[in-house]
Chains A and B, each alone.
Chain A
Amino acid sequence: MLRSGADLPVDSLQGQEGNDLTDLSQYLPILLFLGIALILSAAFVFLPMGVSRLTGTHNPTVNKLTEYECGFPAFEDSRSQFDVRFYLVAILFIIFDLEAAFLFPWAVSLNEIGWTGWVTMMIFLFELIVGFAYAWKLGALDWE
């Protein structure tokens, strides 16, 4: 019913001559979808702002526009400090997400690359696990 564009066979990713890897027409519906989603959510944000001006509920006052802080003015800048562990988690995430990015193409082409490819990836994973164990031992994963 909704299917559009030509169906790419999965093996077209695996580099035969004249494949349609560059055929981006399948992604056009996604782009249109993104556009419609964007229009819809922008309408949801901006329409009520217009409506409230028409109905008269739009009535900002100084106290209404202050930030939430238990009823008295903020003591300090809210963006001053945060725990460095959040930053550490972000760095660890980059390492492991990159690793996953390497694993994805490996996972679909496992039958092409055979045992050589499998063993190579296991060596790569082993090196990462050594790094992970080191981070664990250093306490980078602890939240105490």
Chain B
Amino acid sequence: MTEFFQSLGMTYEWAWFVATISGILIIVLPLLLSVAMIVYADRKIWAAINLRRGPNVVGPFGLLQSFADGLKVFLQETIIPSAANKGLFLIAPIITFTVALAAWAVIPFSETAVLSNINVGLLYILAISSLGVYGVVISGWASNSKYPFFSSMRAAAQMISYEVSIGFTLITVVLMAGTFNLSDIIMAQKGHIGGIVNAYGLNPLLFPMAVVFLISAMAETARHPFDLTEAESELVAGYQTEYSSMSFALFWLGEYANILLMCALNAILFWGGWLPPIDWAPLYAVPGIIWLLLKIFVFFFIFSWVMATVPRYRYDQLMRLGWKIFLPLSLAWVVIVSGYVMIRDNGWPL
């Protein structure tokens, strides 16, 4: 893209700058649009499973529902409670949303379409998604109200608990691929199983980790059945209770952007990213981004499906699953996979 702007008579630096900014906007604006549409899809899927119609009034098939909601919250009054710490109260949604967007900077959308192809892409994503907990904790603290405070304590403990097992799960993928670069991880999956299937997830050695990662992703994004942070019957609306207008909307926009990110990571790390599912030449005629979006949507459908069918966990069950099942399991898997990789590449030690 830099070349295109250079051909318009710009110097290299300016052309690079304009190209990068346009690249960022090409990622951010469709992302915001897909968040709006995915909220609609979520409500439609949930309604269909409950044998309801879901949103069907605004626009054809209710397609414009999210935009109507967005306009409504935009025009609402921003209420800042008098007891709140005003600065922190307003910073919290900004942090949540910024962090939710920033992780997309290193996601490879196709073989060539990646904004920043850094060699530690996976570490960057891990670091950025760890920052997400600050938005939640700050909002709960700054609201100076009981329910948001309890909710943010729960959310912080839940997010960091599952981050541990996510970390170990990622290590098994890194061991298998031998790199942190997301594009290289995808390429390493090409023909991984018998030269036919482009996916780590169907490898019997990594399949359990794919499942652990999917469930941990739901817990990390505080999604059903792990949405204890906003359990309506106990905590009103959780850490968002005191928020209104667009500040409130930013929390759920960020939440859905994070869910999409987790779906994208599932697709990239275990199910071949922008590669077609089967390593067969005619399938490569379909652009890589189509495959990636299809995979993301399949995972989003699973998220919605789980939300509509599985009852909410209790907090002790949630912690037990994270610390007593996923952590030992993923730790054992790091040992197993690293042993396998050593034997595969270096032979037996004796």
Residues of A within 8 A of B (CB): 1-5, 7-10, 12-13, 26-30, 32-34, 36-38, 40-42, 44-49, 51-52, 55, 57-60, 62, 64-69, 74, 78-79, 82-83, 85-86, 89-90, 92-93, 96-97, 100, 103-104, 107-108, 110-111, 114-115, 118, 121-122, 125, 129, 132, 136, 141-144
* Contact indicator per residue, chain B 224-267, by CB within 8 Å of chain A (1) or not (0): 00000000000010000110011101100000000000000000
Q: Any chain A CB within 8 A of the CB of B118?
A: yes
Asked if B49 is an interface residue, CB under 8 A from chain A, the answer is no
- Least distance between B228 CB and chain A CB atoms (Å): 11
Cβ–Cβ contact B345 & A66, under 8 A: no
- With a cutoff of 8 Å between Cβ atoms, the chain B residues found around residue A28 in the complex are 20
A13 to B121, CA, bound (A): 13
Across chains A and B, the number of contacting residue pairs, with CB separation under 8 Å, is 251
Asked if B79 is at the interface (CB within 8 A of a chain A CB), the reply is yes
For the complex, is B47 an interface residue (Cβ under 8 Å from A)? no
CA distance A14 to B219 in the complex (A): 35
Which residue from B94, B113, B141, B164 sits with its C-beta under 8 Å from A93? B164
**Residue B323 lies at the interface, judged by CB distance under 8 Å to chain A:** yes
> What B residues does A33 contact at CB under 8 A?
24, 27-28, 101-102, 104-105, 115-116
- Interface size grouping (class) on chain B: 35 or more
Choose from B84, B149, B245, B331 the contact partner of A52 (Cβ within 8 Å): B245
B34 within 8 A of A: no
The 6 closest A-B pairs by CB, nearest first: A143-B316, A100-B167, A67-B145, A41-B97, A37-B101, A2-B23
Chain B contact residues: helix, strand, loop or mixed? helix
Smallest Cβ-Cβ distance to B17: which chain A residue? A32
Q: Which residue of B lies closest to A10 (CB)?
A: B179
B163 interface hit (Cβ, 8 Å): yes
Q: Is B116 in contact with A27, judged by CB distance below 8 angstroms?
A: yes
Q: Which of B143, B145, B163 contacts A97 (CB 8 A)?
A: B163
**B6 in the interface, Cβ–Cβ < 8 Å?**
no
**CB neighbours of B181 from chain A (8 A):** 10
Q: Contacts of B327 on A, CB cut-off 8 Å?
A: 96, 132
- B76 contacts chain A at the CB level, 8 A cutoff: yes
Asked if B93 and A41 make an inter-chain contact with CB atoms under 8 angstroms apart, the answer reads: yes
Separation of A107 and B266 alpha carbons in the complex (Å): 20
Minimum CB distance partner of B160 in chain A: A93
Q: Is B64 an interface residue (CB 8 A)?
A: no
| Contact present for A104 and B106 (CB under 8 Å) | no
Q: How far is the CB of B286 from chain A (nearest CB, A)?
A: 17
Contacts of A59 in B (CB 8 A): 77
B153 within 8 A of partner (CB): yes
Contact A48 B28 (CB under 8 A): no
Within 8 Å by CB of A30, from B105, B157, B179, B334, lies B105
